[in-house]
Structure 1
Amino acid sequence: MCASQPLYGQAETEASASKKSRYGTLEEVLVTARKRTENIQETPVAITALGGEALRAQGIVSAQELSKSVPSLQINDSTAPQIFIRGIGQRSGLARFDPSVSVYLDGIFIPRPDGQLLDTIDIANVQVLRGPQGTLFGKNNTGGALVFKLVKPGTEDADYVEGAVGEYADQRFRAGFNVPISDDLDGRIALAAHRRDGYLRDQSGGENQSIDRVSAIFQTDWRINDRINMESLAYLARIREHYPSYHCKLINEEALFVNGLGILWAGDTDPSNPRAYQDNCNANRRGNLRDLVTNQGDSQQQNKDQDVMMLASTLNWEINEDTSLKAILGYRDATKMGPQTQSDDGGPRPYFRALVLGDNEQESLTGELQLNGSLFNGDVEYTAGIFLQREFKSERFVTANQLIGAEALPFIALAAGQSGADISALDPVLDLLSVPGGTLPVVAGALPISTVQDFEIDGETYAIFSQATWHLTDNLEFTFGGRYTEEKRESDLFTRTADSEAISTLISSTNPRFLPVLPSMAAFGYLGSWSEDPIQIANDILAEAFPGDIGAPLNPATKDELESTFREFTPMASLAWIVPERWLFDAFVDTAMVYGTWSNGFKSGFQEPFGQDGLIEVAPETLENFELGFKIDALNKSLRLNVALYSMTFENMQLITVSVDSANTLVVSSQNAGEATIDGGELELQWLPSENLMLSLNYSNNNYEFVEFDDFDLKALALTGQQVPIDRSDEEFAVSPEETASLGIQYTFYSDDIGVITPRLDISYKSEVYMGLDDDAWEVAKRDPDLVYADAYTLIDARVSWFQPNNNLTLSAYVKNLTDKRYDVGAVATGSSIGTNVQVLGEPRMIGIEARKTF
């Protein structure tokens, strides 16, 4: 399957010389979006399909690069892949979150976001389905689906060896070979290795945004008899690389951790001018460092280490000419190794850290049964089935803050607010801290020093689904279907908090100048002056006694359990009309289809840790989509134009935000926004003006709006424990651009002596993106958008390939990001609490050469 002119060889032309066209002819593209093979131009679904040759023509070597040319698709790769379609996606890769965009490899659902970003190893084609896939696909979702298909054993002319080298010591190798086993059993093996040094260098000595991954796929196709065959695969992958380091930008000086609480940090030696926190961020500000250099310090853990094994079998049974049965069984086992930094304040000092620790397990077993067939002499085509999944996930997570300081009065106010006590009741503490001329410096664990949580999740999914297409006439069809889903979640959470009294004993016994005041908060008065930096002294004592990522003695574990069941029915209906050929006779248009679709999506609720309160439940999100589209082939099938217009309504969208637990401790958590809407449109155009020239243009425009989004003011929660409602419905959606566009230009020169030379240029554009996480980030954005938005950018990729038909050898040279543009591929702006925007740079200019030999 190929969505464009073949990269090498003549484009397909009209069948007879008597009707010779001056145009080339686009190939027919076959897709399986409705669980049967159909022409993409007759499928009433918004879908982009790219075959193996089209992927190679554009130099796409990983799923992340699909976002350059697929409308409404945004893929960011940080600690885990963040896949968004039409503004719908998941911003975090932690174990508690299900993906909003489902990924399938040969029909097998890949449940975890951190295992979804597949290299395009031995890929026959990829299909990107946009909009909720609430009926036919194994796992319900609200955003869409990425469907990868492997090259199958026994496929002719499919043996190859491929290698590439490039800048930053980039080295890539791939190979795929058919392995005949017997007359009835074919095998195929594919290998891939990719290594590249990091292009972001940290001043601590590390290289980040490196690549180091090895994978192998072994497939078999056993033809049991004329009607039954079994396809099996084993997939192994090993990843040992570093995700990108980032820069820091201070966006709100009144944030709680900056000046909002009146606290001081290690390095502050003048309480009248606390600058350490701001200076820490500025030390890693992009404008203060050399190009492609960061300054996050040696406490960062940018590790992306994972081992993955996947086993799967698919039984295909052609029961008769009208009915077939497919049974799919998949097993996936993955271990994600820590430590891995998830978030911090953005500077080189380890003031605030959140890390995934240990070996985190992910195990899933999926089963699906599909019955496909037709009735009434083919007038009705149907698919029905069941889907089952069992999944276990574990994750060890630590949040850690340093000991901080404050003048006595601000400290008393903070302690009273966090405990809910009357400030006058703490007068004895203030008397204890008083000295002639003022008060002693106060050092305390006013922010939780360490909280370690071991989180285990057992999940079960049961679904029954059916969809049928009724061909009312030769040109009019009606499709209807539905899926009933039941999801069960059982979570166990073991929480260990820092032992503040033990910390008090340790620090006061090590340095008697620290006078214990409130041992329950590890609070001390310091018998000295601020100029001695008592906050740093206390933190050094604690770090020496408890080195490592946890950094503190811990209390015994407390256990919390929560069980939930979520149920939903997601129906769909679609009406499609293929314009009769007689209406198009001698017209500009060759074929045309118009369709309208009503569909629904569902994403399960879940449980998650909420600071010291244990587990809370986050409700499911649902999506209703109305879509109108048309698909046209014109100019003797040399031009293809597909357009989709849609209006979607979200209920209970799951969003990440910042809150506080019952102990008034800051917690990054999830909540449901009451209602939101997405209105937009997508355009895909392909044109072959001649047999040698190919043009492609893709465009998307998505308008996002919150209708209802209620929250609580974070500062009031942190300081007084009061829930002061605020309305956040005027905010923009985060992460996804409103507009995306891409243009591809490819020309093929044919020569009997030289071979085939194909230069290609790809230009992609993404509009500015809001990166805020909380209410104050939006307030900052309204005053100064540059602090919170990622700028719009345009990337240019160039490639030239030479194909020698006699040797089946292809040599290519490429430049990605030709203009060496600096642009952000990810960021998180947190205005209310930590007051910083951490920004992730995308790839600089990359130059390389590659060779491919087919057999």
Structure 2
Amino acid sequence: MPLFLCTVSSSLLAEEMKQAGRIEEVVVTARKRAESIQETPVAVTALSGDNLRARGILGAEELSKSVPSLQINNSTTPQIFIRGIGQRAAFARFDPSVSVYLDGIFIPRPDGQLLDTIDVDSIQVLRGPQGTLFGKNNTGGALVFTLSKPGEDAAGYVEAALGNFNEQRLQAAVDVPVTDDFYTRFSLNSRRRDGFFKDATGSENQSIDRLSGIFQSRWIASDDITLDTFTFIGKIRENFPSYHCVIANEDALFVNGLGLLWPGDTDPNNPSAYVDNCNANSRESQKDLHTNQGDSQRQQKDQDEFLLGLTLDYQYSDDHSFKAIFGYRDATKMNPQTTADEGGPAEFLRADLLDDGLQESLTLELQFNGVLFESVDYSAGIFLQDEFKSERFNTANPLVGSEPINFLGLAGGQAGIDIEAITDLLGSVTGLVPGGTVPLVAAALPLATVQDFEIDGETLAVFTQATWHVTDDFEFTVGGRYTQETRDSYLVTRSADLEAVTSIISSADPRFVPIMPSMGAMAFLGRWSQDPLTIANNILHEQFPGDIRAPLSAPKIDTRGDTFKQFTPMASVAYIVPEQLLDGTLLNSAMAYATWSNGFKSGFQEPFGLDGLSAVKPEELENREIGIKIDALEQSLRVNLAAYSMTFKNMHLITVNVDSNNTLVVGSQNAGASLIEGAELEVMWFPNASTLVNLTYSNNNYRYEEFTDNDLKALALRGERITIDRSDEEFAVSPKETASLGIQYSLQTNIGVFIPRLDISYKSDIYLGLDRGAWLSAQEDPSTAYSKAYTLMDARLGWTDNNEEFNIAFYVKNLMDERYDIGAVSAGDSIGTFTKVLGDPRTYGIELRRTF
């Protein structure tokens, strides 16, 4: 995974505005050599630091407003998708499908990828698989952040901002040259904002509280050797977004599908506690920007991160160079933190990360770059990574209830259960209750499952790529990468001791009579109207008041090691139209290219209920792409177009299944094959010297060619595996269409330059379903699994003095105060709810920047 750096001409936007409406050249090193973006046969968007400030982009998630085919959600789980390819969950076992790099250092975990644009010189977004030059986890593409480097002269800036929701922001950087050949740079970023979601518990969610600092150094050891280092220290102390709840499917297993009763249900003929719980946190029942998630929610996002990078450049001859890139990352996620529940305020379904999650990685890359035979540019190298991850996960559900006939159906689906003996016992107990019926209480859902999970991963890759300039106008590129990843996992699982649970409850209240201790099943010698489920759960919670609310059985230890290997080749051709052929036309330059490339994301192991560790196959992606890049109208118009067709094998998907004990488990599986076809357009136009127009559009069509799953209801009730076809479903998380329009005007006056700007972005509706039940429900009512299409408007008015030393800007984001969803998930087969997360409402403020 070579870590190439993206470089964009400094002060790009200011220079563009000065050049009488001519687009300045943007230089990137996407193929490890400096070349014009218009002569690079890659679908890439490059934004300079000045361009980011002009658009008011403060973090990676805002890039999706203006970059085609890019979707970034930062809701309860950070998600980055390019062309419909990404990773939906952020557990330690899941690798991202879009890689992020900071100054050449690979950021391996999703929760560390959504970087703020602190002291950033440029960001480059590469779309499509980068399986040769990047390699690791790039089936979707890559985001490359490049920091502003230390300068040889003392200089710097201070930027401060105030906004609504008590936003306070401070950024500063200073260059401190130590000697004529050793320079340093210090930068600081502090950003705080109150949460705009008011929860019934009193918490304010979707807050921002980030503090980070960067120290850089550059040592020019000689004319041929340069050593760059950076140290990044970051701290996050904020709250995740709140969400609302919608019943996605009333026939889901936990709603009406299993005939379960929940704490609070007192009438078996009309159980309503589960639905009422969801509705208590619906948008219709709450005031605007208010939620009711309950005391069990753990919204804190507390994370410390340390990054160290070192890059050695050695130009050992006129035509050949060597680069060594060393990176180290250490991150700690402080917990507990709620990762999922059914969406209401009651403590029904809980999934919590407990204790601290540790992440540590070490990377080393050696690159060799140069020119052979005066016409062949080459890059080759070796990449090594060692990574360790750990997390502690707790899944907890309450004791639930059932009528005898329904309980027999549930017990019948469990392996090794003597139904005849249970029937006889129920008959004898029922006779003790007037009326001939008896409420049953049981751990029909996992009462508590605590898993300590550790993963060691090692990656070795070798790569090479060469471009032969056949003529001055025609080039041919081939490359390949061999990757070998080894995963060793260690899992300790402790489940609730249901016999002990039965003993505790029956001893505390003799009305509870054990029926089947292995299922925690008890008969209640009383009436449903007495709410026996609440009584039983309260007894248990009084005995175990912490996060793990049940006694645990002996630990079960599982270990597994797997090695995943893949070779990912690529080939491309590019033709640059000779200048003499463009004379007398409206075109100033034109290039056409065609690319065939491949991507690979390693398989992994994951906990699968009581079955321990299971392996998921690697993802494989084959991309066929053509593109055109044009500058026209005396370089006042730039049009870049790409069209592609990608074949995706073994896509990693989150699904709900059952283990061998017929216990529901959220896990992963591979979709057999799928197809992604689409096109992207980027336009930059200066209609005159003072006006800049940016336009982007993308259209992606996603289709499963092969995707089979198991019928969850048949598995849960009868232990019967019935295969269902899910190939007609849409891809989740990614919109089919995105578009953006930016208009900026520069007004020169005697007191400085006024720059008003308006940005409009559009996303089509997005499918957020998890399973077959969500898809079927959405065909009847899209609101049960889709987020609606939305359009956002951002406005900005900036002023710069004539010396370009002082800037003031007034900004408004989400000008029309649109309500739009940025996540989360609809599960129609199992929990039957759709949890929906709103994006930021209208925000506004003032920024001041002083350079020196």
TM-score, shorter chain, exceeding 0.5: yes
Query: Structure 2 vs 1, CA of residues 149 and 541 (structure 1 numbering), >3 Å: closer, same or farther?
Result: same
* SS of aligned partner of 1:418: coil
Deviation at 1:506, TM superposition (A): 1.0
SS in 1 for 2:502: helix
Cα distance in 2, alignment partners of residues 609 and 3 from structure 1:
48
Structure 2 unaligned blocks of 5 or more: 1-6
Partner of 1:527: 525
Counterpart code for 1:141: N
Alignment of 1:788-799 (within 5 A): 788-799=785-796
Residue 372 of structure 1 aligns with which residue? 369
Indicate if the aligned counterparts of 1:352 and 1:401 stay in contact, CA closer than 8 A.
yes
Over residues 536-569 of structure 1, what are the superposed CA-to-partner deviations in whole Å (9 max), with x where a residue is unaligned? Answer: 0111111111012111111111100110000000
The question of whether the paired residues in 1 share the 8 Å contact of 2:153 and 2:176 is answered with: no
Residue number in structure 2 paired with 1:705: 703
**Alpha-carbon deviation of 1:65?**
0.3
Aligned to 2:104: 107
Equivalent of 1:561 in 559, 562, 584: 559
1:272 Cα deviation after fit:
0.4
Aligned residue number for residue 247 of structure 1: 244
Contact 1:12–1:27 (CA under 8 A) maintained in structure 2: no
| Counterpart for residue 839 of structure 2 | 842
Q: For residues 181-231 of structure 1, what are the alpha-carbon distances to aligned partners after superposition, in whole Å with 9 as ceiling and x for unaligned?
A: 222211001100111011111111111100011000000001111111110
Deviation sequence 1:604-648 (CA, Å, 0-9, x none): 000000011110000001000000000000001010000000000
Aligned: 1:293 with 2:301: no
Which residue of the partner structure matches residue 685 of structure 1? 683
Letter of the 2:621 counterpart: L
- Give the distance between the partners of 2:39 and 2:429, measured in 1 at CA: 79
2:799 aligned with 1:802, yes or no?
A: yes
Give the distance between the partners of 1:483 and 1:420, measured in 2 at CA.
Answer: 50
- Matched to 2:424, the amino acid is P
Q: List alignment gaps of at least 5 residues for structure 1.
A: 14-22
Aligned to 1:154: 151
1:594: which partner in 2? 592
Q: CA shift at 1:781, angstroms?
A: 1.1
Q: 2:73 aligns with which of 72, 76, 79?
A: 76
Which of 224, 235, 241 is the aligned partner of 2:232? Answer: 235
* Match of residue 632 from structure 1: 630
Give the superposition deviation at 1:285. 0.6
Letter of the 1:501 counterpart: E
Q: Give the CA deviation at 1:166.
A: 0.5
CA distance in 1, matches of 2:603, 2:138: 12
Other-structure match for 2:425: 429
Match in the other structure for 1:449? 447
Provide Cα deviations, 1:727-774, integer angstroms capped at 9, x if missing partner: 00000000000000000000000012x201000000000000111000
Q: Please report how far the alpha carbon of residue 257 of structure 1 lies from its aligned counterpart in structure 2 after TM superposition.
A: 0.3
Q: 1:820 and 1:525, CA in 2 relative to 1: closer, same or farther beyond 3 A? A: same
Structure 1 CA distance for aligned equivalents of residues 587 and 309 of structure 2: 44
Deviation of 1:70 after TM superposition, in Å, equals 0.2
- Specify whether residues 155 and 121 from structure 1 end up closer, same or farther in structure 2 by C-alpha distance, changes over 3 A only: farther
Q: 1:548 maps to what in 2? A: 546
Q: Measured at CA, do residues 403 and 10 of structure 1 come closer, stay the same or move farther in structure 2, by a change above 3 Å?
A: closer
Count matched residues: 844
Shift of 1:79: 3.4
Which residue of structure 2 aligns with residue 506 of structure 1?
A: 504
Q: Aligned residue for 2:136? A: 139
SS of 1:181's equivalent in the other structure is strand
> What's the counterpart of residue 16 of structure 1?
none
Q: Which residue of 2 aligns with 1:18?
A: none
Equivalent position of 2:471 in the other structure:
473
Work out whether residues 483 and 571 of structure 1, in 8 Å CA contact, stay in contact via their aligned partners in 2: yes
Deviation for aligned residue 1:139: 2.2
- Whether 1:778 aligns to 2:779 is no
Q: Give 2:184's match in structure 1, choosing from 152, 176, 187.
A: 187
Give the conservation status (yes or no) of the 8 Å contact 1:109–1:138. Answer: no
Whether 1:393 and 2:389 are equivalent positions in the alignment is yes
CA contact (8 A) 1:756 1:802 kept: yes
Instruction: Say which is worse superposed, 403-412 or 742-751, in terms of deviation.
Output: 403-412
Aligned with 2:17 (options 11, 16, 31): 11
Deviation digits for residues 359-402 of structure 1, max 9, x if unmatched? 1110000000000000112x000000000000000010010000
Q: TM-score, normalised by structure 1?
A: 0.97
| Cα distance, 1:138 vs structure 2 | 5.4
Q: In structure 2, what is the Cα distance between the partners aligned to 1:51 and 1:353?
A: 43
After superposition, the C-alpha distances for 1:4-51 in whole angstroms (9 at most, x for unaligned) are 9955477343xxxxxxxxx61011011121122110000000000000
Quick check: 1:492–1:561 contact (8 Å CA) kept in 2?
Answer: yes
**1:406 alignment partner in structure 2:** 402
* Displacement of 1:690: 1.1
Q: Taking structure 1 as reference, are residues 83 and 696 closer, same or farther at Cα in structure 2, changes over 3 Å only?
A: same
Partner of 1:419, secondary structure, is coil
Partner of 1:30: 27
1:400 counterpart letter in structure 2:
A
Q: Distance in 2 between matches of 1:433 and 1:779?
A: 41
Contact 1:5 1:27 in 2 (8 A): no
Query: Take 1:685 and 1:826, find their aligned partners in 2: how far apart are those partners?
Result: 29
Per-residue CA deviation, residues 316-365 of structure 1 (Å, 9 max, x unaligned), is 00011100000001000000111111110000001001111111110000
Q: Equivalents in 1 of 2:804, 2:18: separation in Å? A: 23
Alpha-carbon RMSD: 1.3
Distance 2:178 2:492 in 1: 51
Alignment partner of 1:355 is 2:361: no
Q: How far apart are the structure 2 equivalents of 1:632 and 1:34?
A: 20
- What is the CA-CA distance between 1:3 and the residue it aligns to? 8.2
Cα distance in 1 for residues equivalent to 2:528 and 2:286: 30
Amino acid at match of 1:106: D
Describe how 1:571-650 pairs up with structure 2 within 5 A. 571-650=569-648
Q: 8 Å contact 2:233–2:305 — kept in the other structure?
A: yes
In 2, Cα distance between the equivalents of 1:272 and 1:67? 49
Deviation, structure 1 residue 586: 2.0
Asked if the contact 1:413–1:423 (Cα under 8 Å) also holds between the matched residues in 2, the reply is no
For residues 601 and 16 of structure 2, the distance between their equivalents in structure 1, rounded to whole angstroms, comes to 45
Over 3 Å counting, the alpha-carbon distance change for 1:2 and 1:185 in structure 2 is closer
Secondary structure of 1:540's match? helix
> Residue 813 of structure 1: SS of its match in structure 2?
strand
Q: What do residues 521-541 of structure 1 show as CA deviations (whole Å, max 9, x unaligned)?
A: 111111211111110011111
SS in 1 for 2:463: strand
Letter paired with 2:607:
P
Secondary structure of 2:406's partner? helix
Report what 1:85 is aligned to: 82
Change (3 A) 1:9 1:132: closer
Distance 1:711 1:158 in 2: 60
Aligned partner of 2:3 in structure 1 is none
In structure 1, C-alpha distance between the alignment counterparts of 2:155 and 2:429, rounded to whole Å = 79
Cα separation, 2, equivalents of 1:643 and 1:37:
22
Q: Which residue of 2 aligns with 1:20?
A: none
Percent identity of paired positions between Structure 1 and Structure 2: 62
Q: What is the identity, as a one-letter code, of the residue corresponding to 2:653? A: L
Is 2:745 the partner of 1:747? Answer: yes
Contact kept? 1:4, 1:54, Cα under 8 Å: no
Compared with structure 1, are the counterparts of its residues 10 and 556 closer, same or farther at alpha carbon in structure 2 (3 Å cutoff)? closer
Which one-letter code corresponds to 2:376 in the other structure?
V
Secondary structure of the structure 2 residue equivalent to 1:11: helix
Q: CA deviation at 1:807?
A: 6.9
Cα distance in 1 for residues equivalent to 2:428 and 2:578:
91
- Which whole-Å CA distance do the structure 2 matches of 1:327 and 1:338 have between them? 36
